[in-house]
Amino acid sequence: KNEVEQSPQNLTAQEGEFITINCSYSVGISALHWLQQHPGGGIVSLFMLSSGKKKHGRLIATINIQEKHSSLHITASHPRDSAVYICAVRSNNDMRFGAGTRLTVKP
Amino acid sequence: DSGVTQTPKHLITATGQRVTLRCSPRSGDLSVYWYQQSLDQGLQFLIQYYNGEERAKGNILERFSAQQFPDLHSELNLSSLELGDSALYFCASSSGTSGASSYNEQFFGPGTRLTVL
């Protein structure tokens, strides 16, 4: 079993829909990152969390340390949000990555 | 543009060869991280340097080595290359005062695509 599990693996949505991507982890962590990887391959760091909730524009990330779970929400999704979203956890000076969620938003 | 630069963008080489990938962090960032992204294993953390010193080690093979120079740029050396080393190699940088225990956001470079034939 992977230490970082993401769901769903693939997600297709219509423009305007509310999106939720989930990440569960099984190790103790010092921080959790949400990354966005565009079709061209470039990676952008969206959030880094160690507790609570963060918001940036239409993106919201939450983390529940006790339940070892984080969610990434996208409100009013847009085709430009189409990308792979990757959850990564920092644990004992190591970084572990989820397999990613491929999001496609259709106009 | 994250401010992190990586060269070269693409690299094609043969098995058994040695290559060097270069990364220049964002101005002022002291930490540099190296990651490998392959089709079968996804993203993996290789190694972190902070202000010239190794601070954390992940799944880095013994055939691979890295260093961070006084001007803070970093190089990842891959030797005795195998077909399975074909991957995207990303460098990221972050600021931070405590090296391996830094929780700061990372900024990723565009990556170097390595193809081993």
Query: What part of A 2-31 touches B (C-beta under 8 Å)?
Result: 30-31
Q: What amino acid is encoded at B53 in this protein?
A: E
Dump pLDDT digits (tens) for B1-18: 889 999 999 999 999 999
Instruction: Tell me what the pLDDT averaged over chain B comes to.
Output: 91
Q: Which of B57, B105, B110 sits opposite A42 (nearest CB)?
A: B110
Q: How far is B100 from chain A (nearest CA, A)?
A: 6
Region A19-33: what's the mean pLDDT? Answer: 94
Instruction: Tell me what the pLDDT averaged over chain A comes to.
Output: 94
Cis omega before residue B8 (within 30°)? yes
Dump pLDDT digits (tens) for A47-76: 999 899 999 999 999 999 999 999 999 999
A82 contact partners, CB below 8 Å, separation of at least 6: A39, A103, A104, A105
User: Contacts of residue A35 in chain B, CB cutoff 8 Å?
Assistant: 108
Q: Looking at residue A40, what is its pLDDT? A: 81
Distance (Å, rounded) from C-alpha A80 to C-alpha A15?
A: 10
Q: Is B105 on the interface with A (CB under 8 A)?
A: yes
Distances (CA, A) of B89 to A75, B75, B111: 32, 11, 5
